[in-house]
Amino acid sequence: MLKEIKNICCIGAGYVGGPTMTMIAAKCPHINVNVVDINDNRIKAWNNPDTDYIPIYEPGLASLVNEARGRNLFFSTNVNQAIQDADMIFISVNTPTKTYGVGKGMAADLKYIELCARQIATVATSDKIIVEKSTLPVRTAEALKRILDNTGNGVHFDILSNPEFLAEGTAVSDLLNPDRVLIGGEETENGRLAQQALVDVYANWVPKDRILTTNVWSSELSKLTANAFLAQRVSSINSLSELCEVTEADVDEVARAIGSDSRIGSKFLKASVGFGGSCFQKDILNLVYISKSYGLNEVADYWEQVIIMNDYQKRRFAKKIVETLFNTVSGKRIAILGWAFKKDTNDTRESAAIYVADYLLSEQAELVIYDPKVTKDQIFSDLDYLGSRSTEENRDLVEVSNSPYDAVENAHAVAILTEWDEFVTYDWSKIYNSMLKPAFLFDGRRLLSDELMREIGFEFYKIGKG
Ligand code: UDX
Ligand code: ADP
């Protein structure tokens, strides 16, 4: 019998779970949504009466949280209670790339998923629909099912794959108006009913023709490949950016020319200092790993090249700075504008800025970093995590500034690493005047006009233009 969903639990109150559940709660006032997490501080922040301090910065999110929180949206650390009460449980925990053992540096670490599954199996006393929301390697649902069926109390579990396609920075509008919602289910009568129950949740605001249903494996693989295709476009245009620099072509003009072919399309053709974010690299590495594990070495090599190109692009940009500054940045003050992996988010995972900064620090540069939304603690934690030098050295060499104008003062060079809108509106003449001369400006996001910057007096380098 088709189950009407009245109570949803989401395990994991991060960048995926938080915004997605907020949207479900806002659009489905008849469903109670409990978002739970083991991280007490994170839950406290979600419950902060002042929604300016919720843990995730996303345009439009705070007002949605205000609308639903305390009505049918609740944040708590009581995982067991939320599991027990739920008809449907979303798993939105982190699945980082493994840093140890088999598959190190490539495979996804599923330990958090497995812990969730074991906890659900132990605690649940009534039938549940389990929804994979986190990005997972193909066939994770199978592992989940085995754990749930073998350790549970005779409770029946249906497993669905419902990958999230929202992009950070535009999460609210992506959730509100998704290109598609994908729901993979098992090809059994129960599987079909579970799938329909989740279709009915989304149908509260998403047009039915945008809700696609597939089998579980297609759904899991589609998420990885959607990200791989998007990342591949960025690496493709980034590979051309270098060619443009030596041939005096302009990569934006090339992108516009090729992107106006409707078969190619204009999106994801913006050359940059390299893609970041928690998904692109991780998902491609998963794709490479799974291909290799089936002996498909050519398939694996093909996709791996997307990552190799991206690593090269970050290194190339950092190297360009060193070469331009007369082959040494030792003791030179370089201001970095932007630390987030893209604009309109405070997320820094895999941000190109981290790797560019690390390269410059290894060349003994002194860095001053400014980002409108990223905290000082986060910046140091990102640098420390790399382990390239001691935490003391990082603090000696790096300063984090609250003001872009303070950051650039007496700098030899400025590097733009995130495409924050506010950077365009700065008084660049004032910045020029406060810097050492010659004043070098490196635009890793193609934000600024070359004519204007050269007119002001900058020695200006822009990715993708000779
Ligand atoms: C991505 C997918 O877009 C989303 O569907 C999925 O759910 C999660 O992964 P996200 O990582 O949040 O989303 O951001 P996205 O907009 O895809 O950007 C990823 C990276 O690529 C950023 O660092 C961005 O600056 C870079 N990028 C993107 C470019 O350098 N050029 C482009 O043209 C587009
Ligand atoms: P994503 O971008 O996939 O949302 P995040 O790291 O932002 O990833 O969020 C994942 C969240 O899942 C974290 O807040 C983490 O504390 C939480 N989490 C991980 N394992 C568990 C667990 N077993 N129970 C509850 N929460 C968990």
Residue ranges of the binding site = 12-17, 37, 42, 93-97, 134-135, 164-168, 223-227, 263, 270-276, 279-282, 341-342, 349, 445
> Residues of the chain whose pLDDT is less than 70?
152
Pocket test for ligand 2, best of 112, 122, 136 (most atoms within 8 A of CB): 112
129 and 244 in one domain?
no
Residues 199 and 232 both lie in one domain: no
For residue 224, give the amino acid letter: L
**Preceding peptide of 438 cis, ω within 30°:** yes
Give domain status of residue 1, yes or no.
no
Domain boundary among 156, 172, 206: 206
Q: Is residue 282 domain-resident? A: yes
Number of domains in the chain: 2
Residue 106 has what pLDDT?
83
Annotated binding site for substrate: 164-168, 223-227, 263, 270-276, 341-342, 445
Q: Is 281 found in the same domain as 338?
A: yes
Q: Are residues 255 and 358 in the same domain?
A: yes
Question: Quick one: pLDDT at residue 428?
Answer: 98
Same domain, 272 and 195: no
Domain boundary among 206, 239, 265: 206
How many Å apart are CA 98 and CA 112, to the nearest integer? 12
Please give the full DSSP string across 80-137, using - where no structure is assigned: HHHHHH-SEEEE----PBP-SSTTTTTSB--HHHHHHHHHHHHH--S-EEEEE-S---
With respect to residue 142, please indicate whether it lies within any of the assigned structural domains: yes
For residue 134, the model assigns a pLDDT of: 79
pTM: 0.94
Q: Is 187 exposed, middle or buried (0-12, 13-18, 19+ CB in 10 A)?
A: exposed
Residues in CB range of 209: below 8 A, 6 or more apart: none
Q: What is the pLDDT of residue 444?
A: 98
Phi, psi dihedrals of residue 36, rounded to the nearest 5°: -120, 155
Neighbouring C-beta atoms of residue 211, cutoff 10 Å: 19
- 51 DSSP 8-state letter: G
Q: Which residues of 323-361 are buried (b: 16+ CB within 10 A; e: fewer)?
A: eebeeebeebbbbbbbbbbbbbbbbbbbbbbbbbbbbbb
Strand partners, 211: 181
Q: Could you tell me the CATH number of the domain that includes residue 276?
A: 3.40.50.720
What's residue 328's pLDDT? 98
The pocket around ligand 2, CB under 6 angstroms, is made up of 11-17, 36-39, 42, 79, 92-94, 112, 115-116, 134, 278
Are 438 and 420 in contact by the 8 Å Cβ rule? The answer is: no
User: Is there a domain that residue 339 lies in?
Assistant: yes
Please indicate, yes or no, whether residues 284 and 147 belong to a single structural domain of this protein: no
Same domain membership, residue 193 and residue 257: no
Task: Examine residue 211 and state whether it is found in any structural domain, yes or no.
Answer: no
Residue 106 domain flag: yes
Strand-pairing partners, residue 181, are 211
In this structure, are 112 and 191 located in the same domain?
yes
- Which atom of ligand 2 lies nearest, measured to the CA of 39? 16
Any atom of ligand 1 within 6 Å of the Cβ of 62? no
What is the spatial distance between Cα 61 and Cα 73, in angstroms, rounded to a whole number? 13
Whether 167 is in the pocket of ligand 1, judged by its Cβ within 6 Å, is: yes
Last residue of a domain, one of 161, 184, 206: 206
Distance 45 CA to ligand 2 centre (A): 14
Question: What's the alpha-carbon Rg for the chain, to the nearest Å?
Answer: 24
- Residue closest via CA to ligand 1's atom 10 equals 167
Is the same domain home to 316 and 345?
yes
Just list the catalytic residues. Answer: 279
Encoding tokens for residue 335? 């201001």
Dump pLDDT digits (tens) for 194-203.
999 999 999 9
Nearest CA to ligand 1 atom 16: 167
Residue 2 lies in a domain: no
Q: What is the pLDDT of residue 174?
A: 97
Q: The domain containing residue 433 runs over which residues?
A: 217-466
Which atom belonging to ligand 2 lies closest to the Cα atom of 134?
A: 3
**Cβ-proximal residues to 245 (8 Å cutoff; 6+ apart), any chain:** 463, 464, 465, 466
- pLDDT value at position 226? 96
Q: Are residues 71 and 195 in the same domain?
A: yes
Quick one: pLDDT at residue 205?
Answer: 98
**How big is the CA angle at 348 (ends 342 and 349), to the nearest 5 degrees?**
110
Q: Are residues 156 and 243 in the same domain?
A: no
Print burial letters for 284-296: b (CB count within 10 Å at least 16), e (below 16): bbbbbbbbbeeee
> In a 3-state reduction of DSSP, which class is residue 402?
coil
Ligand 1: does its nearest atom lie under 6 Å from the Cβ of 341? yes
Distance CA 141, CA 186 (A): 10
Examine residue 178 and say whether the peptide bond preceding it is cis (omega within 30 degrees of 0): no
Same domain, 184 and 244: no
Cα of 38 vs centre of ligand 2, distance in Å, is: 8
In a domain, 404, yes or no: yes
Supply the residue whose CA is at minimum distance from atom 13 of ligand 1.
Answer: 167
The encoded tokens of residue 403 equal 């003001």
348 lines ligand 1 (CB under 6 A): no
* Nearest ligand for residue 135 CA: 2
Cα–Cα distances (Å) from 221 to 81, 260, 287, 379, in that order, read 32, 29, 9, 33
